[in-house]
Amino acid sequence: MNPQQAEPWAAPGNPPMSTEGPTAPPASMLDSVAGYESIAIGGEERYLPPPVYPVTIAEGGQPQPVQQWSIASIDEDAARQALIKFASDHVTYSRRPAEEMVFKALKPYNMYRYRLESFTESRSPEWKSEPYRNQIIDNCGFGPPPPPWEVAVDIPKMFEKSKKKIQVPQTASVKECHKCMATGKVPCNKCFQTGQVKCWVCLGKGNRLGNDRCDHCMGGGKLSCKHCSGYGCQECNECQGQGQLFFYIQLTVKWENNKFEQVVEQQCGFPTQVLSKVNGQQLFSDQQIQVYPVMNFPESRIKQASQQGIQEHWAQFGKSSRIIQQRHSIELIPVTEVHFQWKGKDHTYFVYGTENKVHAPEYPGKTCTIM
């Protein structure tokens, strides 16, 4: 057996794997752009603090809630209809207790709900590169690029989450590809640029057991490299064979709607968390770039909730994003505690929300057989 034939890939004539550059573009390749000095190439989104804008406070011009309102508490008929519907909505419940009950008392409670929404925008710039295919090179020749927070971006629908990626104007450039040294090709790492690999049938020996010639490689011990079709090199995946890369700064702009909600409850054993699914009667609402805590409301806990919510939102979102718009509201949610008797026994349930939903965990018709 000829040893040179057996291992041609180890022959000293083969060039070492040194012509391929690093994967990520070196930082030195990137132009220093004013306002974007410390940004990274790809990777995690890192949101920038917003610039500080002077806030104009409208003196005395803030709308405040009305002081007087009245809300009709439900009557016995509505209370009964609500409970009948509740029983009907549960396949295994009997409607009889609802139809036959004798009312003892209806006790109305007013629950208030304060809701705050802060619609925020955050911006994260990063360097991007892609194969150069005659993209328009919008570079510094047209003037300095706008700083991250001055790039013009159309705001999508208010109070709805969304995201946009934008090429920052005047940041584009074209560079030679660092990975293939602008050749568009990289060496094949399967055959070490020889275009040939060891025959897998005879393991490169050229013959088989009993010294028969290997008919797979015709005794040569080598096969053409499938990976590079025998060329010894492949298209550079960084520039997709173009030899040049198009660089630019991409700005990721993210909009989010952040919510704060608090129900001022009355101690009546009613689980207030179920109120999130129902509507109330709106007593007050306001929408502005910046809303102000509600000052003028008879229930002091609503004033506290408003103050707390607005403070929390500014502390949480004011540093890493820009609050574009806020809106807040106060709703009055009617809750009625109903006491009734059925078959000589006392029971209670609650009717709540403008939808007259029922909360009746101890409804006596639960254990009845369907009539």
User: Can you say whether residue 69 is alpha, beta or left, with left for phi > 0 and alpha for psi between -120 and 50 degrees?
Assistant: beta
Q: Which stretch binds Zn ion (CB under 5 A): 216-224, 260-268, 296-304, 339-347?
A: 216-224
Amino acid letter at 15? P
- Cβ partners under 8 Å of residue 144, min gap 6: 34, 170
In this structure, are residues 170 and 142 in contact, taking their beta carbons and an 8 Å threshold? yes
In this structure, are residues 168 and 249 in contact, taking their beta carbons and an 8 Å threshold? yes
Q: Considering the rule CB under 5 A, would residue 233 count as an interface residue with Zn ion?
A: no
Residue 121 vs 238, nearer CB to Zn ion: 238
CB of 168 to Zn ion, least distance (A): 24
Query: For strand 233-235 and strand 102-131, is the pairing parallel, antiparallel, or unpaired?
Result: unpaired
DSSP three-state, residue 97:
helix
**What does the DSSP assignment read for 249-314?**
EEEEEEEEEEEEEEEE--SSS--GGGGGGS--EEEEEEEESS-------S-HHHHHHHHHHHHHHH
d(CA 24, CA 142): 28
Nearest alpha carbon to residue 43 among 123, 121, 127:
127
Residue 96 vs 190, nearer CB to Zn ion: 190
CB of 244 to Zn ion, least distance (A): 8
d(CA 322, CA 255): 9
d(CA 353, CA 244): 64
CB of 13 to Zn ion, least distance (A): 16
Q: Considering the rule CB under 5 A, would residue 323 count as an interface residue with Zn ion?
A: no
Q: Considering the rule CB under 5 A, would residue 358 count as an interface residue with Zn ion?
A: no
Within 144-203, the residues that bind Zn ion by CB under 5 A are 177, 179-180, 188, 190-191, 199, 201-202
Residue 165 vs 213, nearer CB to Zn ion: 213
CB of 127 to Zn ion, least distance (A): 17
Q: Which stretch binds Zn ion (CB under 5 A): 30-38, 102-110, 158-166, 236-244?
A: 236-244
- Cβ partners under 8 Å of residue 96, min gap 6: 365, 368, 371
Residue 35 vs 184, nearer CB to Zn ion: 184
Please select the residue that binds Zn ion; options are 217, 263, 283, 358, rule is CB under 5 A.
217
H helix runs in the chain, sequence order: 3-6, 76-89, 96-100, 300-317
Within 41-60, the residues that bind Zn ion by CB under 5 A are none
CB of 33 to Zn ion, least distance (A): 23
Please select the residue that binds Zn ion; options are 33, 82, 87, 239, rule is CB under 5 A.
239
CB of 21 to Zn ion, least distance (A): 8
Residue 9 vs 47, nearer CB to Zn ion: 9
Please select the residue that binds Zn ion; options are 74, 172, 225, 249, rule is CB under 5 A.
225
CB of 232 to Zn ion, least distance (A): 6
Six-digit token string for 19: 């012509």
Amino acid letter at 21? G
CB of 211 to Zn ion, least distance (A): 13
Residue 217 vs 332, nearer CB to Zn ion: 217
Tell me the number of residues near Zn ion by CB under 5 A.
Answer: 18
Please select the residue that binds Zn ion; options are 33, 111, 214, 310, rule is CB under 5 A.
214
d(CA 310, CA 332): 20
Q: Which stretch binds Zn ion (CB under 5 A): 110-118, 167-175, 228-236, 309-317?
A: 228-236
d(CA 342, CA 9): 94
CB of 172 to Zn ion, least distance (A): 18
Please select the residue that binds Zn ion; options are 46, 85, 216, 359, rule is CB under 5 A.
216
Contact positions vs Zn ion (CB under 5 A) = 177, 179-180, 188, 190-191, 199, 201-202, 214, 216-217, 225, 227-228, 236, 238-239
